[in-house]
Chains A and B, each alone.
Chain A
Amino acid sequence: MNEVAHTITTNMLTSFYTKTYPQIVYTRNINQYFQNTYISSDEIIIENLINEIKKISSYEIESYNFEPIDDDMIALGIKLKNFPADKNKVTYSIELMNKLDEKLPDNIDIFVV
C-alpha cells in the first residue's frame, strides 16, 4: 500500500472506529490496531467489567490495567483509592470475583494491586 492510500485508508478506518468504539479510540493509537492486525474487543469488555466493579467495590477505583497472562487468560489489575494498608489485597480480589460471579468472563481474573 502506498503512503497516500495508507493515509486515506487509515483516516477512513479511524473515523469508522471512532464512531463505533468511541470509548476505546481515545485511549489507543488507531494505527496500532492495523499494525497489529487485530481489533481488540478486550477494552470494551474490561470497561464494562470496571463499571460492574464500581457498583460492588467498597473502594473507588483509582486506576486499572490489563495484560495477557496465559494463552487464554487476562489479568485485570486494579488500584483502589484509600484501600486500607492492613487489608489483604489477594483476599479482596477473590471477594470481588465472587461478588461478580457470572458477570466476570471466564478468561479474566482480578488482581487488586
Chain B
Amino acid sequence: MNYFKELTYFKPIILHELKLYSSITDNKLKEIYLRNIVSRLYYTAMHLCIEKLNIQIDPNERTHEQVLNALPRGIKQRLKSLKKLREKADYKNQPFYFPLSSKKGRTGVFLNSAQNIQETLEFFETINLS
C-alpha cells in the first residue's frame, strides 16, 4: 500500500481527474472535480516540499506554516497561493472554476487552466530545495 504522503499516491489521481475534467461537459461535475484536483494538488506540493527541504516538522507547531517559512520566496508564494485555493476548494460555498485566484485576486494568475495545474505539479516535483 502506498503511503499517502508520497507523490505516487496523489499524482495519478490528479492526472486522472484532470483528464476527466477536460472531457466532461456538466458544469456541476466539473466544479466537483476541480475542487478535488486543487485540494490534492496542494497536499502533494506541500509534502513534496517537506521531503525536499528535509526538515523535521515540530508536531507542536502548525505544520503548514513551518513548511512555508522554510521555503525560498517565489516557491513560498506559490505554495501559499495553492493553500488559499485549497481552502476555497474545500470550505467555501462559492463558484469554483477557471481561472482561479486567491482571496483578492481578480485575473486568475495562479491556476488558469488544466495545463497550468500540470505545470504546477511538475514544478514541485522537479524543484531542488536542498
Interface residues of A (CB under 8 A from B): 65, 67-70, 73, 75, 77, 88-91, 93-94, 97-98, 109-111, 113
Contacts and interface: CB of A to CB of B under 8 A. Distances in A.
Nearest to A85: B115
B4 interface: no
Contact of A93 (B74, B80, B104, B105): B74
B105 A75 contact: yes
Contacts, number: 63
Interface of B: 73-75, 77-78, 80-81, 101-107, 109-110, 112, 116, 119-120, 122-123, 126-127
Secondary structure class of chain A's binding surface, majority of residues: mixed
Contact of A75 (B75, B110, B116): B110
B101 A69 contact: yes
B119 A111 contact: no
Contact of B102 (A65, A69, A97): A69
A93 B120 CA distance: 11
17 contacts: A67-B106, A67-B109, A69-B81, A69-B105, A73-B77, A75-B109, A77-B109, A88-B126, A89-B116, A90-B119, A91-B123, A91-B126, A94-B127, A97-B74, A98-B74, A109-B77, A113-B109
Contacts of B119: 88-91
A111 B104 contact: no
A70 B74 contact: no
Contacts of B109: 65, 67, 69, 75, 77, 111, 113
A76 B109 CA distance: 8
A91 to B, nearest CB: 5
B69 to A, nearest CB: 15
Given A90-B120, A94-B75, A97-B74, A113 B112 contact: yes
Contacts of B126: 88, 91
B126 to A, nearest CB: 7
A46 to B, nearest CB: 13
A70 B102 contact: yes
A104 to B, nearest CB: 9
A65 B123 CA distance: 23
